Each structure stands twice: as C-alpha cells, then as structure tokens.
C-alpha cells in the first residue's frame, strides 16, 4: 500500500525519532540545536553544511515538511531512492546542465507553494570536517529565482560521524541556524556572504568539539 504523502511524512518522522534514540543509546551521540530564533515566520530557504548522514535525519524533526535538493543518482539507491521520490525531493541531473537548473527551479517554486521548507547543501555532497570545498551554483539560482531569505546552517557532525567511516565518536553534535541572508544581493556578494557565515561558524563548532 502506498501512503498519502502526509501520512508518509508522519511515518518518516516516527522512524527518525526512533533512529535518533538508537543513535544516542548505541553510539553515545546526542545533539543540540541553536539559533532557532533566526528562522523566519514566512517562507525561506535553508543552506546547510553537510558532513554526515546525521543532518539529513535531524532536519526531518526540525521541519515537518522539509524537501531536500539532491543529485539524481541517489534515486537509484534501493529503497532509499524510492523514499526520496515518494517524499517529493528535488532531484538534479548534474549532466543535464541548464535544463537541470530550470527543472530544479520549477519544482522548487511548486514545493514552496505547497508549504515545504527547501534544504540545500551548497557544497553538493558530504564533506570532511575542517575542509572548505567550493559551493555549487544551485543555491545562488534558488536565492535569485525564489527571492526568499536564506538561512545558513553550521554544524560539527563530521567531528563525531565522519564521512564514509564506520567509526563514530561519542559526543554532542551541534547544529546552529545563523541569521538569514535577505534577498537582493548579487550572485557574487551572496555566495561570498553565505560561505563566510557557514564556514566561520562551522570552524568555531569544530573547535568546540575538540577537533579544530
């Protein structure tokens, strides 16, 4: 049986809550969310640092109807790909160039009109802690086209849940919402401001984790 999307979301949140409990009990990893006061009441975009699978779980608890922008190849992953498709995620075919960007923007406008919160990882993939890869152009296109504030997110999940590693480190992951970047900046100003805010705050959180 295929559940309606709303019930599917409820089932997802139930599963995520259970996963978070298991992670805490078996791995000794807890978490703290800071900066919720920076989340606007009106629609906005979320641009987050991405160091592990942990944040993809937690965002589903923070935002009831969050939608991720992700690379299309993830839809081919057994079971996980079906879940992402069923949840209405925004997939991007990186080999399709400008056509992929237009499709992403078109779908994003629909998802915003449906009341979803769109989350994008500007670096395009999970990254190692204490690294600063270049940002991909998708976030700048969303910022310009949707004309919405962008809330940067810093975190230190990679200090406890390293990318592509089975070894996890007990501790408290911190995710921090930063003050939103208002619409109106040109592309260069926006990208520079976004990266400076996210990386600057992430560097501090990694030092706090004892891994800076």
Per-residue pLDDT of the chain (212 residues; tens, 9 = 90+): 455 667 777 778 888 899 999 999 999 999 999 999 999 999 999 999 999 989 989 999 999 889 999 876 666 566 666 566 666 788 888 777 788 889 999 999 999 999 999 999 999 888 887 788 889 999 999 999 999 999 999 999 999 988 777 789 999 999 999 999 999 999 999 999 999 999 999 999 999 987 65
Q: How far is the C-alpha of 211 from the C-alpha of 172, rounded, in Å? A: 13
Using CA atoms in the order 92, 96, 101, 104, what is the torsion angle rounded to 10 degrees? -30
Closest by CA to 90, choosing from 135, 53, 120, 51, is: 120
Burial class (CB in 10 A: 0-12, 13-18, 19+), 150: buried
Pairs from 87-96 (Cβ < 8 Å, separation ≥ 24): 87/5, 87/8, 87/9, 87/12, 88/5, 88/116, 90/118, 92/138
**pTM metric for this prediction:** 0.89
Strands 117-120 and 45-48 come out as parallel
């Amino acid at each position: 049986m295929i559940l309606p999307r709303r019930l599917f979301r409820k089932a997802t949140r139930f599963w995520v809550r259970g996963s978070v409990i298991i992670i805490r009990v078996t791995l000794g990893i807890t978490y703290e969310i800071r900066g919720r006061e920076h989340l606007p009441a009106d629609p906005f975009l979320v641009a987050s640092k991405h160091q592990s699978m942990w944040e993809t779980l937690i965002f589903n608890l923070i935002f009831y109807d969050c939608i991720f922008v992700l690379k299309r190849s993830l839809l081919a992953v057994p079971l996980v790909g079906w879940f992402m498709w069923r949840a209405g995620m925004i997939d991007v075919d990186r080999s399709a160039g400008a056509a992929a960007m237009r499709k992403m923007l078109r779908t994003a406008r629909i998802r915003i009109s449906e009341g979803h919160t769109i989350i994008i990882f500007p670096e395009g993939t999970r990254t190692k802690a204490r690294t600063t890869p270049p940002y991909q152009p998708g976030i700048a296109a969303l910022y310009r086209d949707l004309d919405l504030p962008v809330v940067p997110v810093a975190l230190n999940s990679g200090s406890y849940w390293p990318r592509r590693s089975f070894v996890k480190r007990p501790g408290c992951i911190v995710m921090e919402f930063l003050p939103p970047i208002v619409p109106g900046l040109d592309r260069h100003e926006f990208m520079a401001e976004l990266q400076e805010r996210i990386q600057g705050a992430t560097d501090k959180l990694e030092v706090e984790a004892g891994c800076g």
